[in-house]
Amino acid sequence: MRTPEANAIIDAGFSGKIITRLLEQRGLSVSDIHATFITHEHNDHCSGLKGLSKSKHIAFFANKKTAEAINVKLDRDVGWTFFENECQFYFRDLEITAFSLPHDAADPVGYVFSLKNCREPAQGKICIMTDLGYVPQGLTQYTSDVDCLVIEANHDLQLLEFDPKRPGYIKDRIRGRYGHLSNEAALSFVSKNYSPRWKKIIFVHLSSDCNKPEIIRKMLQKYNFPDNLTFEVADSPVTESYQCQNSTPMAAPTGA
Ligand SMILES: [Zn+2]
Ligand SMILES: [Zn+2]
């Protein structure tokens, strides 16, 4: 995510080497990153923290439970900056709110980012929510007044059902209330809770075995969304850059 005053990444699910390469592709280096906002402690979201935390100039944001769960894995503290869920906080010119998500982690969150001191409707407001078993009703307060919604579309129900690699209990976990959103659930949420403010929807966190971008693109054709709403499906490990007036989200992980 890039604003006039801040370069930030959401999660750090890749090795330091890959993070460095991905930043280079965007004309940046680790030294340009000011902050990392962590959603939860699962490896596909924080396995690069060990390397990244050697860069002492980066601020690492998480809530306490997530930080504690990561500290146990890393066997050390990365020097966290804590926030409270559902309470607004600030970093440079960013205004941030983290909100709880139903997922099998210590205290998983999604984020809303906007520019500080921007009169509504601010341009470039973004909501990011991955790793959730279902979308709780109250979450529309975070999704409805944003320009860009980044939402998990993890798996195709059929591909998951017949996936030979995953045992039944893993499938149950993925499909469960604290697992991951299916394509159907993600599209159903977007359709039922459509907001005229939305300009872009980005589907992320696709399972490499149990999903394909073309399945989501085909499903989208069944809906009658307005022409001024654009869709992206992240078919690479990192969400394609989203250009809008003031900010550019950069990274969201894939996984299962
Ligand atoms: Zn997770
Ligand atoms: Zn994940």
Compute the distance from residue 227 Cα to the ligand 1 centre, in Å.
Answer: 33
Compute the distance from residue 104 Cα to the ligand 1 centre, in Å.
Answer: 7
pLDDT at residue 122, rounded to an integer: 58
Q: What ligand is nearest to the CA atom of residue 207?
A: 2
Compute the distance from residue 119 Cα to the ligand 1 centre, in Å.
Answer: 34
Q: What are the residue boundaries of the structural domains of the chain, listed by start?
A: 1-84, 119-237
Compute the distance from residue 118 Cα to the ligand 2 centre, in Å.
Answer: 31
pTM of this prediction? 0.91
Compute the distance from residue 90 Cα to the ligand 1 centre, in Å.
Answer: 25
Instruction: Give the Cα separation of 43 and 158 in Å (integer).
Output: 26
pLDDT at residue 103, rounded to an integer: 98
Instruction: Give the Cα separation of 84 and 120 in Å (integer).
Output: 24
Compute the distance from residue 205 Cα to the ligand 2 centre, in Å.
Answer: 7
Q: What ligand is nearest to the CA atom of residue 102?
A: 1
CATH number of 1-84: 3.60.15.10
Residue 145 identity (one-letter amino acid): D
pLDDT at residue 192, rounded to an integer: 96
Compute the distance from residue 254 Cα to the ligand 2 centre, in Å.
Answer: 7
pLDDT at residue 251, rounded to an integer: 44
pLDDT at residue 76, rounded to an integer: 80
CB 49 within 8 A of CB 70: yes
pLDDT at residue 239, rounded to an integer: 46
Compute the distance from residue 252 Cα to the ligand 2 centre, in Å.
Answer: 9
Q: What ligand is nearest to the CA atom of residue 154?
A: 2
CB 160 within 8 A of CB 171: yes
pLDDT at residue 241, rounded to an integer: 38
2-26 residues labelled b (16+ CB within 10 A) or e (exposed): bbeebbbbbbbbbebebbbebbeee
Q: CA angle, 189 as apex, 188 and 195 as ends, to 5°?
A: 120
CB 65 within 8 A of CB 109: no
Compute the distance from residue 172 Cα to the ligand 1 centre, in Å.
Answer: 14
Residue partners of 20: CB distance under 8 A and separation at least 6: 29, 30
pLDDT at residue 177, rounded to an integer: 97
CB 150 within 8 A of CB 200: no
Q: What is the residue-level pLDDT of the chain in tens, covering all 256 positions?
A: 899 999 999 999 998 889 999 999 999 999 999 999 999 999 999 999 999 999 999 999 999 999 999 999 998 889 999 999 999 999 999 999 999 999 999 999 999 999 987 666 557 899 999 999 999 999 999 999 999 999 999 999 999 999 999 999 999 999 999 999 999 999 999 999 999 999 999 999 999 999 999 999 999 999 999 999 999 999 765 443 333 233 344 444 444 4
For the chain, how many residues are written? 256
Compute the distance from residue 162 Cα to the ligand 1 centre, in Å.
Answer: 22
Q: What ligand is nearest to the CA atom of residue 252?
A: 2
DSSP class per residue in 176-190: STTS--BHHHHHHHH
Peptide bond into 102 cis (omega under 30): no
How many angstroms from the chain centroid is the CA of residue 43?
A: 14
* Angle formed by the axes of helices 183-192 and 213-220, nearest 10°: 30
